[in-house]
Amino acid sequence: MSRTFTLIEAQQLLGQVRPMTEGAVKEADRLSATIQGMTDSDPARAGAVEQLEGVVAAWTADIGALGVDVKGLWMVDFDNGEGYYCWKHPEPAILHYHGYEEGFAGRIKIV
């Protein structure tokens, strides 16, 4: 369910996106550390990997339900009708914009 945003609307919604993302990042980091401490033969490893995948999938679904486009791990775009306002964790605010074709590599600073 994608929608278009003014910069002010995107900044306001970031007030929900940031804490959701921070919680998911914290849980993913915890699970990643647990997985790294396991051997490949550890029977609990598969369950931990599945939990990690679930954290990312839940974050993706929750962010998408807000009408925001998930563009990568902990990276979102707010469609403005001409391109995207772009935010990536842990940036403090929406500071960048890019057109539809340029993608993350083509981000420019919002003045």
DSSP per-residue string spanning 82-97: SEEEEEETT-SS--EE
What's residue 44's pLDDT?
95
How many domains would you assign to the chain? 1
Domain hosting 90: range is 7-109
| 45 located within any domain | yes
In a domain, 20, yes or no: yes
> Is the residue at 11 inside a domain?
yes
In a domain, 96, yes or no: yes
64, part of any domain: yes
pLDDT of residue 75: 97
The answer to whether the CB of 7 falls within 8 A of the CB of 110 is yes
Give a yes or no: residue 1 inside a domain: no
Tens-place pLDDT, residues 31-89: 999 999 999 999 999 999 999 999 999 999 999 999 999 999 999 999 999 999 999 99
pLDDT band at 1 (very low <50, low <70, confident <90, very high): low
